[in-house]
Amino acid sequence: MGFISEFLSNVEETAKEYGLEVSLNKDQKQIELLQSSNERKRLSIIVISVLIFFFALIFLGIVKSLHSSPERRIVAHPAKAYTYSEEKASNGFEMHLLKSDPSNITLEVVNKNVTLSDYYGINGGFFFGDRLLSIAMVNGKPAGGDMGQYGAGHENVKYPRGTLLWDGVTNQLSVQIVSQASELKVTDPAHYWAQGGISMSIGHDDLWESQANIEHAPFADDKRLRSALVYDQAGNIYLIVSSTKGTLSDFRAAILETVGEGQLVDGIFLDGDGSSQLQAKELWLPGDNRPIVEMLRLLR
Give the pLDDT of the chain (300 residues) as one tens digit per residue. Answer: 555 556 556 655 655 555 555 454 555 555 454 556 666 666 667 667 656 765 666 655 554 544 444 456 799 999 999 999 999 999 999 999 999 999 999 999 999 999 999 999 999 999 999 999 999 999 999 999 999 999 999 999 999 999 999 999 999 999 999 999 999 999 999 999 999 999 999 999 999 999 999 999 999 999 999 999 999 999 999 999 999 999 999 999 999 999 999 999 999 999 999 999 999 999 999 999 999 999 999 999
Task: Classify 248 as helix, strand or coil.
Answer: helix
How many domains would you assign to the chain? 2
Q: What is the pLDDT of residue 70?
A: 46
Same domain, 128 and 18: no
Helix axes 26-68, 2-17, angle to 10 degrees: 130
Q: What is the pLDDT of residue 67?
A: 46
Q: What is the pLDDT of residue 48?
A: 73
Q: Are 89 and 257 in contact (CB under 8 A)?
A: yes
Task: Provide the domain limits for residue 179.
Answer: 83-298
Same domain, 206 and 150: yes
Same domain, 160 and 293: yes
Q: What is the pLDDT of residue 198?
A: 99
Same domain, 191 and 271: yes
**Does residue 73 fall inside a structural domain?**
no
Q: Would you put residue 21 in left (φ > 0), alpha (ψ -120 to 50) or beta? A: beta
Whole-model pTM? 0.77
Same domain, 115 and 262: yes
Same domain, 168 and 33: no
Q: What is the pLDDT of residue 73?
A: 78
73: DSSP letter:
S
Please report which residue ranges of the chain form alpha helices under DSSP H: 2-17, 26-68, 208-214, 248-258
